[in-house]
Structure 1
Amino acid sequence: MRRAAVLAAATGLVAGLSLVTAPEAGAVDEPVAVTATFNDPAGSAAEQDAIRNQLISLVNRSPAGSEINGSIYLITDGGVRSALVAAKQRGVKVKVIVDGDAVADTEPETGKATGSEYSALAAATGLGTDLTADSWVMACPTTRGCIGNRSLSGGDGGAINHNKFFLFSRVGSSDNVVFQTSANLTTSQRRNLYNNAVTLPDSGSGLYAAYRGYWQDLQTYGSSGSGLPHYYQTQDSGPYKTYFFPRQEKTGTTYATDASTDTVVSLLNNVDCAGGTARVRVGMYAFTRPQVADKLVQMKTAGCAVDLLHNGEDGNLGTTVKNTIAGRLDYTARCAGNALNADGTSRTIGIHSKYLLIEGTYLGGANRKLVFTGSHNYTFPNLRANDETLLKIDNPTVYDAFKANFEAIKAGPHCTQW
């Protein structure tokens, strides 16, 4: 399946780790706060499940007559599936788009059960698959993403719908809420990997409309036609900015050589490192784009402080990237520590988060505190082929929550400096 190829190609704020049990459906009619949520894969069950519990809470608080629109790469979480189906049963319109990799009940190569919840969602007792109905689940074509249709060289396996967001027309007493996470809805993402999420009420910013338009394009292109090699769209929405992929390189270049159309490089170009007061922190699952590595080293040389936490799984840090950054950043750590299971066995704890934190002068504005997060890894498939979202958040309190998460992971036992 393409999920294996993806890994090969990768060669007012409430912030906290845990949440109380999701409230009874329809029981809470309170406004939604701007929320940053982080799981702790080595912590208690509640700490491990913090992100999925936040999502379930939002689903459970969606009233009859409202609409939930989701786009997720993989879903094996029965709790989320049950919450979505229960929402439909009480009169919420629930429409979910998954990647084609989420469909199979068994792996074709091994016959091993995938644990996918797609069949349960697609059943008549779930959401169904009739796109003319009020509720449904739709899978992108098996050979591409819903929009992205490009296959890069090197056996990347082709484009996927790598998105991880849910949109709520109403939650409690708040209209138009966006939930964006780095996590797929799987057990391994909760138990083995650090992830992050944000819950953002629109509050007149236009953020919900930007996501909703993109979600509609995912549905439209994913249900007919052959997709697109280039889609890249951005939109400023108050304190937010969205970047939707795939983004094609300029004519006359190759997908792997055009730094001018690498969105992350462009964002880093906006940072003023003069004076030595700016700091960049990167928490990243997969990092294989040399141009981003080059830019981080340039920023360090120019006076910025640059810290990186990366996942320790083989292939997640590209060889060229590793050689470029070795000894040239302020702090670099590989996250692949061990934690004990209840039965005494151990599991590897890594990082699946995808965030860039910028503190300092940005686009000429001093003392900025910015978060860039979403589904976007620093790999070429994420930039050039996949359906992906990158979200800019200009909110100092959200920034402080992400910074605290970064520093906690950095100081913890599961990431080793090198």
Structure 2
Amino acid sequence: MYQLWSATVARALTAAHDDPLRAINVQVVLDDVSASSPVADGTYDTLKASLGTDTSRSSFVTLCPASRSCLGDPARGNSVSHNKYVLFSSAGGGSLRNVVVQTSSNLTPSSYDKYWNSSTTVTGNSTLYNAYVAYFQKLKAKNYSTWKYSSTSAGAQKAYFFPRAGTTNSSDTVVGILNNVDCSWSDSTGTHRTGIRLAMFTLTRQGVADKLAGLRRAGCYVDIVYTNMDAGTWRALHFSGGPRVRCYDYDDDGDSTTERMVMHSKYLLIDGWYYGRRDKVLWTGSANYSTPGLRSNDEALLKVNDDATAAAYRSNFDAVSGAAVPGAADNVTECKS
């Protein structure tokens, strides 16, 4: 977890560990900001007192190095452990096993009260669960010199674990995903157009923006709701006949000292012709579409092939896009800083 500032979560975790009738093993890997930030609320200290910091034991809390992710190469400069996932070996009184919760949300008050976030849960998929556990073990070990980007296919799901080395679009996971999209297909009912919907807090990776623009020019429907772009990605996606683009970055209470309302999710929905067949596919996770989110931060991305999940995210997308302020009037500093 990147930011864990929640007394409620800390109490729940320590109660699970400390209650002799439950005695649950609790293991937590956090970015250093969870302890060192000026707004840190003592959550880390609460966990430390209960769980300890010895990673060889069955319960612990540990921090990634200061100003660096657990697996990021220091040669790339500062980075963060930006992960946002929770694993349960068993839940629901034992009725659920191998539970993976992948979310875009930090565990902080503003993440619940001010930010649009999203989460998906997969149960009973031992291959997926074990892949996340293996990644967790590497995060815990903090050995960046042996780390290599990896992915694991697990039935209707696939997990991708970062950071990923490289410098070109050929090693950009999202560009690779988009390269598998065809913008139209035909069947017995006629010709159809592929829809691409992106909800993204930060979109500053030029290769991704250029690919989305190219797919729009090729005939795909492209719809984006975001909070931050830079000048290059903003320009690439704003042209006559271009994608539908909405910004969500709003001072809802007129108080500059409080958090703004933003779109903090990080998901991509493709509804149409993908990888040679008609499909509805979701990719969701912790990573922004930024260079650090690909190359230096600890991040996880989850692909889900499931119509019901895609429908739920589509509903969420329509809601956040409809609520976005300033919306289409996004030629403003806060949207392209």
What is the TM-score with the length of structure 1 in the denominator? 0.72
Residue 381 of structure 1 corresponds to 292
Which of 119, 128, 153 does residue 207 from structure 1 map onto?
128
Matched, 1:271 2:143: no
Residue 413 of structure 1: how far off its partner (Å): 5.2
User: What code does the residue aligned with 1:353 have?
Assistant: S
User: What code does the residue aligned with 1:127 have?
Assistant: L
Residue 383 of structure 1: how far off its partner (Å): 0.5
For the residues of structure 1 that align with 2:43 and 2:124, how far apart are their CA atoms?
30
Which of 185, 199, 219 does residue 283 from structure 1 map onto?
199
RMSD of aligned alpha carbons: 1.9
In the alignment, is the contact (CA less than 8 A) between 2:87 and 2:98 conserved in 1? Answer: yes
SS in 2 for 1:146: coil
SS in 1 for 2:225: strand
For the residues of structure 2 that align with 1:151 and 1:351, how far apart are their CA atoms?
31
For the residues of structure 2 that align with 1:413 and 1:324, how far apart are their CA atoms?
20
Matched, 1:336 2:239: no
Residue 160 of structure 1: how far off its partner (Å): 1.6
Which of 301, 322, 327 does residue 416 from structure 1 map onto?
327
For the residues of structure 1 that align with 2:266 and 2:40, how far apart are their CA atoms?
24
Residue 228 of structure 1: how far off its partner (Å): 3.2
In the alignment, is the contact (CA less than 8 A) between 1:283 and 1:351 conserved in 2? Answer: yes
SS in 2 for 1:389: strand
Residue 353 of structure 1 corresponds to 265
In the alignment, is the contact (CA less than 8 A) between 1:176 and 1:202 conserved in 2? Answer: yes
Aligned pairs for 1:169-208 (under 5 A) are 169-172=89-92, 173-204=95-126, 206-208=127-129
Aligned pairs for 1:293-332 (under 5 A) are 293-311=209-227, 316-327=228-239, 329-332=242-245
Residue 96 of structure 1 corresponds to 28
Residue 229 of structure 1: how far off its partner (Å): 8.2
Residue 145 of structure 1: how far off its partner (Å): 1.3
For the residues of structure 2 that align with 1:373 and 1:359, how far apart are their CA atoms?
15
Measured against aligned partners, the alpha-carbon deviations of 1:117-157 in whole angstroms (never above 9, x if no partner) come to 1111111xx221122332110111114211122453xxxx5
User: What code does the residue aligned with 1:82 have?
Assistant: R
Matched, 1:139 2:63: yes
Matched, 1:87 2:25: no
In the alignment, is the contact (CA less than 8 A) between 1:335 and 1:351 conserved in 2? Answer: yes
Alignment gaps of 5+ in structure 2: 186-191, 330-337
In the alignment, is the contact (CA less than 8 A) between 1:99 and 1:140 conserved in 2? Answer: yes
Residue 230 of structure 1: how far off its partner (Å): 5.5
SS in 2 for 1:133: coil
SS in 2 for 1:373: strand
For the residues of structure 1 that align with 2:74 and 2:294, how far apart are their CA atoms?
11
Which of 163, 166, 170 does residue 260 from structure 1 map onto?
170
In the alignment, is the contact (CA less than 8 A) between 2:84 and 2:105 conserved in 1? Answer: yes
Residue 216 of structure 1 corresponds to 137
For the residues of structure 2 that align with 1:306 and 1:230, how far apart are their CA atoms?
35
* Identity percentage of aligned residues: 37
In the alignment, is the contact (CA less than 8 A) between 1:230 and 1:247 conserved in 2? Answer: no
Q: How many residues align?
A: 316
For the residues of structure 2 that align with 1:413 and 1:103, how far apart are their CA atoms?
32
In the alignment, is the contact (CA less than 8 A) between 1:337 and 1:350 conserved in 2? Answer: yes
Residue 372 of structure 1: how far off its partner (Å): 0.3
Residue 415 of structure 1: how far off its partner (Å): 4.9
User: What code does the residue aligned with 1:193 have?
Assistant: Y
Residue 80 of structure 2 corresponds to 160
Which of 344, 347, 369 does residue 280 from structure 2 map onto?
369
Residue 41 of structure 2 corresponds to 115
For the residues of structure 1 that align with 2:42 and 2:286, how far apart are their CA atoms?
20
Change (3 A) 1:229 1:323: farther
Alignment gaps of 5+ in structure 1: 1-71, 108-112, 250-254
In the alignment, is the contact (CA less than 8 A) between 1:335 and 1:350 conserved in 2? Answer: yes
In the alignment, is the contact (CA less than 8 A) between 1:180 and 1:199 conserved in 2? Answer: yes
Measured against aligned partners, the alpha-carbon deviations of 1:202-224 in whole angstroms (never above 9, x if no partner) come to 345x110111111111112x2xx
Measured against aligned partners, the alpha-carbon deviations of 1:310-366 in whole angstroms (never above 9, x if no partner) come to 11xxxx31110011111353310110234349x9x9862111100000001111111
Residue 412 of structure 1: how far off its partner (Å): 1.9
User: What code does the residue aligned with 2:31 have?
Assistant: D
Change (3 A) 1:74 1:151: farther
User: What code does the residue aligned with 1:217 have?
Assistant: K
For the residues of structure 1 that align with 2:230 and 2:151, how far apart are their CA atoms?
28
User: What code does the residue aligned with 2:215 have?
Assistant: M
What is the TM-score with the length of structure 2 in the denominator? 0.89
Change (3 A) 1:338 1:144: closer
User: What code does the residue aligned with 1:332 have?
Assistant: V
